[in-house]
Structure 1
Amino acid sequence: MAVILVTAGWVSPSWSQTTTPTAVRPTSTPSGTTDPAKKDRLLVEAKELVYNRDTNVVSAEGNVQLYYQGRTLEADKVIYNRNTNRVYAEGNAKLTEADGTVTYGSRFDLTDDFKSGFIDSLSTISKDKTRLTAPRGERSEGETAVLDKSTYTACEPCKEHPERPPLWQVRAMKIIHKSDEQMLYYEDAFFEFYGVPVAYFPYLSSPDPTVSKKSGLLAPRFLYNNRLGYGAAIPYFWNVAPDYDVTLTPTVLTRQGVLGQAEFRQRLSNGSYNIRATGIYQLDPKAFDAAPYGTGDRELRGSIETAGQFYINPSWKFGWDVAVFSDKYFFEDYKLRDDTLSTNYVRESISTAYLTGKGERSYFDLRGYYIQGLSQFDFEKQQPLVLPVLDYNRTIPVDPAKTMGIGGEINIDTNFTALSRESAAYQSTGVRLLDKAFGLYDVCPTSSTPNLALPNFKPPSCFVRGIAGNYERASAQITWQRKFIDPIGEVWTPFAFARFDAEGLSLNESDSFRFTNGSATSVLSNADQANFFGSKNSMFARFQPGVGLDWRYPFVAQTGSLTHTFEPIAQIIARPNEAESGNRPNEDAQSLFFDDTNLFEWNKFSGYDRVEGGVRANAGGQYTMTFKQDGYVNALFGESFQLAGNNSYASSDVAQIAGNSGLQTDDSDYVGRVAVAPNSNLWFIAKGRFNQKDFTPETIDLAANAKAYDLTTTVQYSRYEAQPLIGYPFVREGVLLTGRYDFLQHYFVSANTVLDLNPHKYDSVTGAYDLAVNHPALASLGFGVGYNDECTTFSINYSQTYTTAANVESRDQTVMFQLTLRTLASAKGSSNLGVTNTTDGR
């Protein structure tokens, strides 16, 4: 192999004869100096190099490689004509650009800097695996390429049959690639699917594969809704600058007019933010339900949303995620995308701003919340403004050498929360009762005739979901624990803690809110809070120390390829009784679900407003069997015992949270779990809580996931016994089914459904449930088909959900589609098929 360094416009006389295969490297420049001709030099590698003095032509043959200014030209034979400054390459010719783009050709005719010239039988593959092919192409100054009778695609050729056309391609009489504009221009073009023309474009342009964003029209979106009419949205993306852009989306609706939306996004050196505004002047507001079931005759509607996150340094960041709507129905009526919404059976928009910091073993979080309810049953004045919420947590290791052998670790956990609310939020125990005016808002009955009696906001027939007024609470807990392992393998973890809480309560008992509809009237009065709290304004402090011990003794056995671990667990915690639990607010500890996950928690309440008291023991056992190849079986079973003092879970509070928890008796219900995963393609888990007296199931959760060949399925079943003390008077039971089948390598079908096995329809006019045995009812249903490969993604999905508005059940149907032709185009859209009233419930 001969290696020669050639200066542009000059060739060494030694090339007048055939060079030997011995490698000859160019002499380097002296240290500290710069060779002025370095950028113009061409490095040539070949088995044979010949310089003909008579014709002034340099010939290279045998695995020829030429390197010049980041470009590499490879071929079996290369001829350089010094008279014309042209380079000719043929035989497996290949040109690699500095950005990784590779061009193949049967023959190259280029200038000596490789920037301009002609290429026969051209095939270009970019670093993003896009392909341009043509019988002949012309390059100009390395910036413009003109390809005659050419094709463009991002699809890879079939390995078994490369002669077959790709899934899609653009075939044009001429394709012009302007690198300086990062654009591809197609003239007299056809879009082909499997080689069959399906669309003709006399002129077409698209960004080249190097473009991440560029100004222009985006894929349109089409919709239909019986309240909106037919609609079409044509978004325009404006790439204003490298760091910010704007998207304008006018949507023309045949029944309501023009819905306008504008979104501004900007990325800064330490973060990014966006602002989105949406608005419409409705032409036909009467298409929507009358207030309060809908917006009535409101003409101007809209929303403003903004989100951002910025990093102060590697440990600290601040941000926000805020949405404000003109009315609670706007999001659902116009099917808007919203980043702040969490959609379950209850839909709400939670706006927040925050400052967070993370240390090596510490965490700080300061934030506030504004909540806007978006379902018809929400009364906005019952939504709290939570500002601020401060959390700080720090773990400190304790050096035994400096603490007389104590060691272990100390954890500090603090929280401060302040909230305010205009209207108290009440709810009845047992059967739910709504207001007589509209059948939308929760009121409370007397205990004797819950469905028909006038409201009576008193315990035990009523409980308080949220206070009206101002409430502040500061909590701090310091905990120490250390793990010891004795000579026989027992694991002992003693721990001690001290908890301090201080609360301030200022109730608003003066305001009331009246709902009137004809002769029907209902009143929500904040004065009724006096039935639940001892004092309108009060201060309260609580100090609760505690000590405890956790004991575990794992037994390990090996049988063949199986490893068995059995671990009995016992835990005891001693502390004083919980003070003042009955007449204090409970805002953040209303979610109490006793199961295997919190059996060994020192405090099973979910928030800071309640804290476990008395002497309690938790006992159980865990068994794990692991297979040699990743599989396992795990089981846990246990129970909790109140040994001394008052049982906090038997002590009712204003939110009635503990009465049906399974912890209200001194000997709790049993809880257990069995999880089986023989391999990565199959797993099953069963969880439950069982009555302590007769072992009847109180809660059951079953879930299984299986993947066999190209089929993936998931099944979930849940059943919860009635919890009348917190407003669930009937058994809740349902099934979730999902499935996906992949076939023919790139195609798939999917389906999902939620089935309510124990529906009880609620009549918001009479305030009564249909207690007859109902057949299982669909809560939601969806299915879809799709295709996905390296160049194309396509899917179409249908979904339907069932809702109740103004005491009328309806079915909402939506079709969504997505099509992405990699590097060429992308389209997403949805069409709402309208709302259909149903008479049979489903």
Structure 2
Amino acid sequence: MSRIQLPPFRAAPLLLTLAAAFAHAVDPKPPVHIEADQVSGQTESGASAQGNVVVTQGDLRVESEWGNYDAPNDRLTGGDHVTMTRPGSVLHGRTLDYYIQRHEGTLTDPDYAMSPGKMRGDGAELLFEGEDKYRIDSGRATSCRPGDDSWYLHASTMWLDYTSNSGVAHNGWIEFKGVPILYSPWMNFPLDNGRQTGFLTPSLSFDNRNGFDLTLPFYWNIAPNYDATISTRYLARRGLMMGGEFRYLQPGYTGVLQVQGMNDREDQATRYSVLFQHQQTFTDRLWMAVDVQKVSDDSFFNDFGERAAIASQTNLPRQVLFGYNGDNWNSNLLFQRYQTIQQTSIPYARMPQLTFNANPQWLDGVRTGVSGEITDFTHPSLTNGVRSWVYPTISMPFVSNYSFFTPKIGVHASNYQLRDASGGNSRNESRVLPVVSLDSGLFFERDLDVGGNALTQTLEPRAYYVYIPYKKQSDLPNFDSAVTDLSFAQLFRENQYSGNDRINDANQLTLALSSRIYTANDGIELLQASIGQRFYFKDQQVTLSSNDQPSSASKSDLLLSLGGRFWHDLSADYTLQYNTEDRKTVRSTAGLTWNPQPGSIFNLRYTINRNQSPSTEQIDVSAQWPLTRNWYGVARVNYSLPDKQPLDAIVGLEYNAGCWGVRLAAQRFITSDAQFKTTYFVVLELDGLGGIGSNPVNALRTAIPGYTADFDGRQQ
């Protein structure tokens, strides 16, 4: 053992190593160094220092006017303007009493900054309660930058635990711009935007159906793979609603359960909603999915839904789906019913439906496939029955670098065992149809030089022929078929009907031409254009309903598509469905988007659709744009030209101050009962604590394509 004798003091700065060789042999902790104007002491017992004291051990650094180190107890004391620095934190105080290895002690009159959670603050006393664990008495905290005291969280006692990234405040209240705005005897908050058990900030809004609407949620972080949110919601016109959401996540399964319920004093009824969704993998091949939804009445979503997509729901599923994935084949078993709301048309239940798809590889260069289904369709008032069908196909693709040619042949065979809703009048029907198609295309490419930019242009002609003979199908029920909208994808499909109850007769040829221009270096698409049309060599006779008249058109509507990024951050797109015989537009969409940077976006879209009854013609304008350095305007209007009124509109203002922000918005949309619902949102967002009020972010994100909601992404 070596022993180092130190002089009683030194007038010049001195570097003192307070760890002897024997100490390192027993305890490998980093040595303690002291630098000061005057130092006295011994290595085995410790040292005292005066004047410009700097104590370091590993990544710990303490600066003070005087300091004492007790080596046997590994205790450091210091005073008169102490600064303690560790990675991610800087603490200032008057006096320090600290056990280095235990990370325990006190700091009086603390002023602290914790960069991992962007929190800073002060208090009467800071207690070290372990590594990265702090308790602050009579303290306050904020995420604002130094010099900005816009808001503070005050508390008689505050715990900051950076090992679990959680904060807790007792007798806490929030001060904003010098005004107390919220008090709670117990508050908790995450230090890293993670999950934390406790009350979430309340949500407050107002709408014309419910009046004043206040929600107080409690979040329960049960385990890393389980959590729950319990909500108490007060609606001034209707009363108290209780709700809850339970989520779970396991290696083999995941799911969510949501429940809401109340005694509605305005409607004098018990109202509720239930949603249960579950996905489970039994093996690497066998899986299951459950989706069960139910509401107490048709108006539940109209009264309590917060946006148009929710309020317009009409069919709520109640289904269980099993799936199995084999080698080159898969099969699904579905049990499905619906709760129908806001309409009289009830969809068929599938109790059950078994589907099968296979693509066996029997011969090189030959593609074989077979798909099939057996479904028991039930309905309370329409024709019921079991439908079974099978569709084997064989094709032989010939592919080169510049072309492809794929002949295909298949046979679609269907059988129906039908009965009326009461179970009587049984009958059988069948249908067998051969299906022949030829799909071919070419691919040309050339290099371009536009203004010194290396570009590539493609030219892609395609031809698709389909032959299906006519078979009378008016005696067959329609369980799930509908006419699909004409699109480029539909031009290259065998059947223009969805489902399997109607298969069109066809002797037709589709011709299409596409071209793209993209950058040669990184492949960014600058422009795309497509045109296509289907030509009929024979009049089609199959219709969806026996009351429909067959079409005698010699060709389909013409489809045109054009879009791309035309200038810097400006992009546009245009689609057209044009009836060349009647010389009129059937459907058309024109859109323009300008997005120079996050938080600055403008969208303009015009749509017209005469392919439905009644026809629609709408203009949709949405934007999020900076008004000043900190203020942003947000708006969206979906305007119906025939109705001469907006169907969905939202307008608001956002203020971004870096560590806090304000959002104000008003939304008006039409519900499925043809009534308008107007909701007003106001939320104060405090970085690190969350929002106080009702946050319109979900409504804005849905309404405005490209909307940016992150305050941190738009700091001043």
For the criterion TM > 0.5, the same-fold answer is yes
- Going from structure 1 to structure 2, the CA distance change for 1:150 and 1:254 (only over 3 Å counts) comes to closer
- 1:383–1:546: structure 2 CA closer, same or farther, 3 Å change rule? closer
Task: Indicate conservation of the 8 Å contact 2:311/2:672, yes or no.
Answer: no
* C-alpha distance in 2 between matches for 1:12 and 1:717: 87
Q: Give the counterpart letter for 2:399 in structure 1.
A: F
The structure-2 alpha-carbon separation of the partners of 1:64 and 1:311, relative to structure 1 and needing over 3 Å to count, comes to: farther
Unaligned runs of 5+ in 1: 1-10, 30-34, 286-297, 425-467, 512-526, 528-534, 760-775, 832-842
Shift of 1:28: 14
1:719 corresponds to = 608
1:299 alignment partner in structure 2:
269
What is residue 429 of structure 2 aligned with on the other side? 539
- Once the two structures are superposed, the pairs formed by residues 334-353 of structure 1 within 5 Å of their partners are 335-336=304-305, 343=310, 347-353=314-320
Whether 2:535 is the aligned partner of 1:641: answer yes
8 A contact 1:554–1:566 mirrored in 2: yes
- The correspondence for 1:261, drawn from 230, 243, 253, is 243
1:116 matched residue in structure 2: 104
User: Deviations for 1:610-632, whole angstroms, at most 9, x for unmatched residues?
Assistant: 33444322112222222468351
In the other structure, the counterpart of 2:667 is 799
Structure 1 distance, partners of 2:163, 2:248, is 25
The answer on whether the counterparts of 1:631 and 1:678 sit within 8 Å (CA) in structure 2 is no
Shift of 1:576: 3.8
**Is residue 355 from structure 1 mapped to residue 325 from structure 2 by the alignment?**
no
Moved more, 632-641 or 604-613: 604-613
C-alpha distance in 1 between matches for 2:184 and 2:311: 48
Give the whole-Å Cα distance in 2 for the aligned partners of 1:544 and 1:274. 45
Report the identity percentage.
14
> What is aligned with 1:740?
624
Q: Sort the Cα spacing of 1:310 and 1:58 in 2 relative to 1 into closer, same or farther, 3 A.
A: farther
Question: Match for residue 569 of structure 2?
Answer: 681
Asked if 2 retains the 8 angstrom alpha-carbon contact of 1:592 and 1:658, the reply is no
Tell me by how many angstroms 1:20 deviates: 10
Question: Which among 321, 331, 344 is matched to residue 379 of structure 1?
Answer: 344
Change over 3 Å in CA distance of 1:16–1:356 after alignment to 2: farther
Question: Does residue 184 in structure 1 map to residue 168 in structure 2?
Answer: yes
Match of 1:632 in 2: 526
The residue that corresponds to 1:276 in the other structure is: 258
Q: Is the 8 A contact 2:348 2:479 kept in 1?
A: no
Give the Å deviation of 1:686: 1.1
Task: Measure how far apart 1:636 and its partner are.
Answer: 1.1
Q: In the comparison of the two structures, how many residue pairs are matched?
A: 674
The residue number in structure 1 matching 2:706 is none
Q: Please tell me the residue identity of whatever aligns with 1:192.
A: E
Distance change in 2, residues 1:758/1:168 (3 Å): same
Q: Which residue of 1 aligns with 2:554?
A: 666
TM-superposition CA deviations, 1:79-102 (whole Å, max 9, x none): 632266422579995454xxx753
Give distance in 2, aligned partners of 1:591 and 1:14: 95
Q: Does the CA contact (< 8 Å) of 1:392 and 1:414 recur in 2?
A: yes
Deviation at 1:250, TM superposition (A): 4.5
Corresponding position of 1:470: 385
Paired with 2:336 and 2:63, the residues of 1 have a C-alpha distance of: 70
Contact 2:225 2:248 in 1 (8 A): yes
Cross-structure match for 1:516: none
Provide the residue aligned with 1:484 in structure 2: 399
**Which residue of structure 1 aligns with residue 713 of structure 2?**
none
1:48–1:756 distance in 2 versus 1, CA, 3 Å:
closer
Cα drift, residue 151 of structure 1? 2.7
Residue number in structure 1 paired with 2:294: 324
- Which range is displaced more, 539-548 or 169-178? 169-178
Q: Partner of 1:452 in structure 2? A: none
Task: Give me the whole-angstrom Cα distance separating, in 2, the residues matched to 1:119 and 1:509.
Answer: 81
Measured against aligned partners, the alpha-carbon deviations of 1:767-795 in whole angstroms (never above 9, x if no partner) come to xxxxxxxxx23222221223457654543
Amino acid at match of 2:202: A
Map 1:177-256 onto structure 2 (within 5 A): 177=160, 183-186=167-170, 191-194=174-177, 196-199=178-181, 201=183, 205-207=187-189, 209=191, 212-216=195-199, 219=202, 221=204, 223=206, 225=208, 232-237=214-219, 244=226, 247-252=229-234, 256=238
Q: Residue 162 of structure 2 contacts residue 191 of structure 2 at CA under 8 Å; is this kept in 1?
A: no
Paired residues for 1:666-815 under 5 Å: 666-678=554-566, 681-693=569-581, 695-708=583-596, 711-721=600-610, 728=613, 730-744=614-628, 747-759=631-643, 776-787=644-655, 791-792=659-660, 794-802=662-670, 810-815=675-680
User: Quick one: distance in 1 between partners of 2:691 and 2:428?
Assistant: 60
* Matched-pair contact (CA < 8 Å) for 2:460–2:514: yes
- Distance of aligned partners of 1:345 and 1:331 in 2 relative to their CA distance in 1, 3 Å threshold: closer
One-letter identity of the residue aligned with 1:279: G
The question of whether the paired residues in 1 share the 8 Å contact of 2:484 and 2:498 is answered with yes
Q: Which residue of 1 aligns with 2:128?
A: 139
| Preserved CA contact (<8 Å) 2:246 2:258 | yes
Give 2:257's aligned amino acid.
Answer: I
Q: Which amino acid aligns with 2:486?
A: F
Greater CA drift, 168-177 or 686-695: 168-177
Contact 1:408 1:483 in 2 (8 A): no
Q: CA 1:731/1:258 → structure 2, altered by over 3 Å: closer, same or farther?
A: closer
1 CA distance for matches of 2:29 and 2:553? 89
Inter-partner Cα distance in structure 2 for 1:57 and 1:21: 10
1:828 to 1:202, Cα distance in 2 relative to 1, 3 A? closer
In the alignment, the residues of structure 2 paired with residue 394 and residue 780 of structure 1 have an alpha-carbon distance, to the nearest angstrom, of: 45
Supply the distance in 1 between the matched residues of 2:261 and 2:661 (Cα, whole angstroms).
32
Structure 1 pair 640–45 and aligned structure 2 pair: CA distance change class (3 A) = farther
Distance 1:476 1:631, change over 3 A: closer
Q: Which residue of 2 aligns with 1:290?
A: none
Q: Deviations over 1:87-140 (max 9, x none)?
A: 2579995454xxx75343367541242522233654241533333434753334
Q: 1:794 to 1:577 in 2, by over 3 A?
A: farther
Q: Does the C-alpha gap of structure 1 residues 476 and 14 become closer, same or farther in structure 2, counting only changes over 3 Å?
A: farther
Q: C-alpha displacement at 1:574, in angstroms?
A: 4.8
RMSD: 4.5
Counterpart residue identity of residue 191, structure 2? P
| Separation in 2, partners of 1:591, 1:796 | 43
More strand per residue: 2
Closer, same or farther: CA 374–110 of 1 in aligned 2, 3 Å: same
* DSSP 3-state at the match of 1:597: helix
Residue pair 1:15, 1:51 contacting (<8 A) in 2 also: no
Give a deviation string over 1:723-774, Cα, whole Å, max 9, x none. Answer: 5xxxx2x543222221111344554221112222224xxxxxxxxxxxxxxx
Structure 1 residues 184, 555: closer, same or farther in 2, change over 3 A? closer
Shift, 1:63, TM fit: 8.8
Q: Residues 179 and 469 of structure 1: is their aligned pair in 2 closer, same or farther, counting only changes over 3 Å?
A: same
Report how far residue 415 of structure 1 moved.
4.2
Task: Compute the TM-score of the two structures, normalised by the length of structure 2.
Answer: 0.79
Instruction: From 375, 378, 391, give the equivalent of 1:420.
Output: 378
Q: Which residue among 153, 159, 164 is the counterpart of 1:170?
A: 153
- The alpha-carbon deviation at position 666 of structure 1 amounts to 2.9
Q: What are the ranges of 5 or more consecutive residues in structure 2 without an aligned counterpart?
A: 697-716
CA contact under 8 A between 1:544 and 1:576: conserved in structure 2?
yes
Question: Relative to 1, partners in 2 of residues 1:14 and 1:304: Cα closer, same or farther, differing over 3 Å?
Answer: same
Q: Provide the rounded CA distance (Å) in 1 between the counterparts of 2:616 and 2:182.
A: 57
Amino acid at match of 1:719: I
For residue 74 of structure 1, what is the aligned residue in structure 2?
61
Q: Secondary structure at the match of 1:272?
A: strand
The 3 A distance-change label for structure 1 pair 127 and 389 is farther
